[in-house]
Amino acid sequence: MQLISVVDLFCGVGGMTHGLVKEGFRVVAGIDADPTCKYAYEANNPGARFIERDLEEMSADDILSLYPKESLQILVGCAPCQPFSRYSQRYAKQSNKDEKWRLVRAFGRLVGKIKPTIVSMENVPELERHPVFAGFVAILRKGGYHIWYDVVDCADYGVPQTRKRLVLLASQLGPIQIISKTHRKPRTVVAVIGSLPSIGAGQQSKNDPLHRASGVSGLNLRRLRHTPEGGTWRNWPKELVLKCHKKETGHSYGSIYGRMWWEKPAPTITTEFHAIGSGRFGHPEQDRALSLREGAMLQTFPKGYEFVKYGDDWSIGTVARHIGNAVPVRLARVIARSIEKHLREQPAQKRTDK
């Protein structure tokens, strides 16, 4: 059987890689410009090498050299999606408009030159509406790829969040698409994190340093105590409501300082999930925001996933950024199963032509 090898671009702490590895794929390397991701990536994904490089500075030959000879080449990647957030689009200066697309363009450039057998890209839904995505698809069409893409509701595949993502799959072997939905009912917050021990704001579990929550000011603690499960600032006494919320424009931010529901999926886990003022990230009943471990588990990382080396100094903000930026492991496993199904269905001669 032909050797199959994967390179993961913009790999971060390894959400995509871990999902692929769990489904039996050999990931030979992950590439990311952030050196603080190295420990988590390599500690949890034995055999996958972390390469600290800027993709814009890498050549096709640099990446081709990572694949073993005669292997079927799979290239996956999720270019950092902050440039496509609604907030940044609203406030970005026009002069920086082209800057938003550079990492997706770098991905497309490499795909066009490497011509891997299979390509997968995961990103925010907003990307689909931008010319840079049309350019990426055009590169694939020019290369003779069969292409599938759609905005996927991650809850349909076992990710316990109201998270929607643009997923693209492309193959030179034949038609490819994501597998059928795996979950009729969404997984809930209580099913995923309900068994973790109770901790207070600013505290961490004795048994798990990642089950650690940010501190909360006295004023915000009062606000939390007036917020029921699923509630928001609208449940507070008038004297606790922020001035910005009293304005007409503030009414659109209904989830800020909100608590999650136990029996519903979590909101989309962002890089700021550790802060109660960044969205509906309040614990359903404890007076604090989500802990790092809770955020990671809602991102479907295994409970024992190591994000920091024991004894090293680290900040909540850095680890939260790593977790929020990651591809949910469960979604990565679904992408892996989709690729595996596609490969299984291809005639043997097609797989050895490359």
Sheet hosting strand 146-153, strand order edge to edge: 49-52, 26-32, 4-9, 72-77, 118-123, 164-171, 146-153
Please tell me the number of Cα atoms within 13 Å of 69 on its side-chain side: 0
Backbone angles phi, psi at 193, to 5 degrees: -120, 0
Q: Does residue 81 have an active-site annotation?
A: yes
Count other Cβ atoms within 10 Å, centred on residue 103.
22
Count other Cβ atoms within 10 Å, centred on residue 280.
21
C-alpha to C-alpha distance for 268 and 273, rounded to whole angstroms:
9
Query: 4-9 and 72-77 as β-strands: parallel, antiparallel, unpaired?
Result: parallel
C-alpha to C-alpha distance for 182 and 158, rounded to whole angstroms:
7
Instruction: Report the first-to-last Cα separation within the chain, whole angstroms.
Output: 14
**Catalytic: which of 11, 81, 154, 244?**
81
- As given in the structure block, the two tokens for residue 152 are 């996927």
CB–CB of 170/118 below 8 Å?
yes
Give ∠ CA 264-266-270 in degrees, rounded to 5. 170
Q: Which active-site residues does the annotation give? A: 81
